[in-house]
Structure 1
Amino acid sequence: MLLSGKVALVTGASTGIGRAVALRLAADGAAVIASYGSDAAGAKEVVDQIGSGRALAVQADSRSPESLERLVGDAVAKFGKIDILVAAAGVMPTVPLAGLTSDSFDDVFNINVKAPLLLCQKAAPHMPTGSHIVLFSTTLCAASTVMPHYLLYVASKGAIEQATRVLAKDLGKKGISVNCVAPGPTSSRGFHANQTDLSLKMAAGATPSGRLGEPDDIADAVAFLCGDDSRWVAGQTIRVNGGMA
């Protein structure tokens, strides 16, 4: 129970990696605010598994600054503070340059970049010294095998990696560490939605172990960054990809 007494706010907590992170941090003793976009049933399952005394599901729209402010307010009203912020919510579009539009650009960057940064801004005043923020990128930012249709996705995650470096300097003055996790191909509903049988086989074959990552593989790395064992780790992007890149 290394996180006993801590409060963790996890976005995208109703499914996939976000769900695994919420459950892992709860298993380590943290109280959890499970934020979700539309999957209320999935968020309720997370709360039921943790227990309503230590968990709260809150719906939030990543496109709305007002909704993000309400999310932070609900978390503080319930538990009084935020020790851990994990911004796992995001979208993974497949848009090549030829298909790029102003609207698609704005939508991806609003969800994958603007929302996490605004959430950090709104949560930071409620985060005591020794708190942790974990943002999310992708190993595709470092993989030579990246395909053209991941243009917008990788561009948005590259922005997050740079934001992580700068926020670590800014919020580090308050004693808040900021790091980033960049998963490789991970078996989740969002990932599988954009894949074919062939691309799944190729993704698994890109790792020495010959398998896709599992959400728990990513959650374990996040848990490390949320505890005292990572006290001298700041401004880093950790690529959790099984040796893919």
Structure 2
Amino acid sequence: MESPVSEQNGWQEPEEKHAVARLADGVKGALALFLASPFIVFLVILWPIYRWAEMKEGNPPPEPFWNPFLERYFPHRAYKKELPQLEPFEREQRRAAYREAALAAASTPQPVESHGFVLAPNAPQTEGAERVALVTGGSSQLGQAIVQALMEQNYRVALVCFESDATAMIQRYPMQEAKIQSFTCDLRNPEAIETLVGQVVRHFGQLDVVVHNAARFEPDHEENPSWQSLENLFKVNVMGPLWLSLKAAPWMRSGPAGGGHIIQIGDIWGERPLLGYSGYSSSKAALHMAGRSLARELAPEIRVNTIAPGAVFPQGEDDRAYQVLLSNTPLAAEAGPLGVITALNYLLATPFVTGQVLHVDGGRLLR
């Protein structure tokens, strides 16, 4: 007998299937699985070859195609990821060990030379191992100065450019070509960033330091504002560096040092608005906050700090704008790239500083 609801909606409830019909459905399912099994076996055999080919091209290892199925029907199981994951208890143990070692190091001051490059106070160090640094915007003037400073400290450097050819930069080190390699990456493209990290790790075998130097500096267009221009500012100045940090962090944790250091090149205009550059100032302010947030998220294995310089490459002394700049600087001078390099070396050699914005501006932020 049909229910009232069924009559009102114009449909009838389906009758329950007979046992024979259910058995027939089961036989059909089993037959379909039997016929599909050769194709499944073929895919499983081809999977390692496909994974190897992707990693050979420098792409991130692809996720196994069967994981979504397993996670859907067996949600209680834990699946192995490409990078090592710590259990909550184990991670808390590691945090406690780092804190104890840091307090011990702080209570017993030692010369900086005795620490070497200590990413974390109790991080395992490989004697004689050369560390790897990735520098974005490596072809710019400041980028070249950063790369040169790192090379002088025996780093192997991944020099990252947007479109420009970094061959000339690499040729400046004819005796050390094995220690430097150029890469191209569009920081507006998340897939390109993931590919970049995979290429760097594949080439050097590890990743210890990331220096975010690439940036766009564009004025506002008040009469004819461009959404694309604003979008590019935030993608290059904030979103790209943030995404690169998140993708590089697992590799830094799993490296021989057990941690790493991320250094962002910010700007004093990220804390004070620059007239006519609201988009740029906003993006740099967001970068500063991203650094502070990452410092909490990635601690204790990875430290994150920001250098906020003033005018790094001002015009000549005869330029009127340069004279105005000096008059607004309490120290009445600009350190140029040397100020940034000195701050960089300080942060690299100081194991107990994270989440800081180091101003290298001659006091301009005070005005």
For the aligned pair, the TM-score class normalised by the smaller chain equals 0.7 to 0.9
Provide the residue aligned with 1:236 in structure 2.
Answer: 356
Checking the alignment, whether the CA contact within 8 Å between 2:343 and 2:360 is kept in structure 1 is yes
Using the TM superposition, give the Cα deviation of residue 130 of structure 1 relative to its aligned residue in structure 2, in angstroms. Answer: 3.5
Using the TM superposition, give the Cα deviation of residue 71 of structure 1 relative to its aligned residue in structure 2, in angstroms. Answer: 1.5
Residue deviations 1:136-164 (CA, integer Å, cap 9, x gap): 21112344xx4321211110010011111
Provide the residue aligned with 1:62 in structure 2.
Answer: 187
Residue deviations 1:149-193 (CA, integer Å, cap 9, x gap): 1211110010011111110011114x00001111111107xxx6x
Checking the alignment, whether the CA contact within 8 Å between 2:332 and 2:362 is kept in structure 1 is no
Using the TM superposition, give the Cα deviation of residue 89 of structure 1 relative to its aligned residue in structure 2, in angstroms. Answer: 0.2
Using the TM superposition, give the Cα deviation of residue 107 of structure 1 relative to its aligned residue in structure 2, in angstroms. Answer: 1.1
Name the SS of the counterpart of 1:57 in structure 2.
Answer: strand
Does residue 276 of structure 2 align to residue 149 of structure 1? yes
Checking the alignment, whether the CA contact within 8 Å between 1:97 and 1:151 is kept in structure 2 is no
Does residue 135 of structure 2 align to residue 13 of structure 1? no
Paired AA for residue 192 in structure 2: S
* 1:199 counterpart (301, 321, 326): 321
Provide the residue aligned with 2:288 in structure 1.
Answer: 161
Does residue 172 of structure 2 align to residue 46 of structure 1? no
| Shift in CA distance, 158/24, structure 1 to aligned 2, threshold 3 Å | same
How far apart in 1 are the matches of 2:274 and 2:215?
Answer: 19
How far apart in 1 are the matches of 2:251 and 2:311?
Answer: 34
Provide the residue aligned with 2:48 in structure 1.
Answer: none
More strand by share: 1
How far apart in 2 are the matches of 1:166 and 1:14?
Answer: 28
* 1:85 counterpart (210, 224, 247): 210
Checking the alignment, whether the CA contact within 8 Å between 1:23 and 1:46 is kept in structure 2 is no
Q: How does 1:78-117 map to 2 (within 5 A)?
A: 78-95=203-220, 99-117=224-242
Using the TM superposition, give the Cα deviation of residue 212 of structure 1 relative to its aligned residue in structure 2, in angstroms. Answer: 3.2
Using the TM superposition, give the Cα deviation of residue 17 of structure 1 relative to its aligned residue in structure 2, in angstroms. Answer: 1.4
Provide the residue aligned with 1:172 in structure 2.
Answer: 299
Provide the residue aligned with 2:201 in structure 1.
Answer: 76
Provide the residue aligned with 1:187 in structure 2.
Answer: 313
* 1:31 counterpart (156, 176, 181): 156
| Shift in CA distance, 120/153, structure 1 to aligned 2, threshold 3 Å | same
The runs of 5 or more residues in structure 2 that have no matched partner are: 1-112, 118-128
Alpha-carbon RMSD across the aligned residues, in angstroms, is 2.1
Q: TM-score, normalised by structure 2?
A: 0.59
How far apart in 2 are the matches of 1:96 and 1:223?
Answer: 38
Name the SS of the counterpart of 1:161 in structure 2.
Answer: helix
Q: Could you say which structure has the greater relative contact order, defined with CA pairs below 8 angstroms and 6 or more residues apart?
A: 1
Using the TM superposition, give the Cα deviation of residue 209 of structure 1 relative to its aligned residue in structure 2, in angstroms. Answer: 4.2
Identity of aligned residues (%): 30
Does residue 264 of structure 2 align to residue 135 of structure 1? yes
How far apart in 1 are the matches of 2:252 and 2:210?
Answer: 9
How far apart in 1 are the matches of 2:261 and 2:361?
Answer: 22
Paired AA for residue 126 in structure 1: W
Name the SS of the counterpart of 2:215 in structure 1.
Answer: coil
Provide the residue aligned with 1:217 in structure 2.
Answer: 339
How far apart in 2 are the matches of 1:198 and 1:26?
Answer: 36
Aligned positions, number: 232
Name the SS of the counterpart of 1:14 in structure 2.
Answer: coil
Residue deviations 1:64-114 (CA, integer Å, cap 9, x gap): 112212221121111111100001000111116555432222111011011
Checking the alignment, whether the CA contact within 8 Å between 2:270 and 2:288 is kept in structure 1 is no
How far apart in 1 are the matches of 2:169 and 2:271?
Answer: 32
How far apart in 1 are the matches of 2:206 and 2:340?
Answer: 25
Using the TM superposition, give the Cα deviation of residue 208 of structure 1 relative to its aligned residue in structure 2, in angstroms. Answer: 3.7
Which is greater in Rg?
2
Checking the alignment, whether the CA contact within 8 Å between 1:24 and 1:219 is kept in structure 2 is yes
Residue deviations 1:201-229 (CA, integer Å, cap 9, x gap): 322332244333322321221122223xx
How far apart in 2 are the matches of 1:135 and 1:244?
Answer: 19
| Shift in CA distance, 97/236, structure 1 to aligned 2, threshold 3 Å | farther
Residue deviations 1:218-244 (CA, integer Å, cap 9, x gap): 1221122223xx211110011111222
Q: TM-score, normalised by structure 1?
A: 0.86
Name the SS of the counterpart of 2:359 in structure 1.
Answer: strand
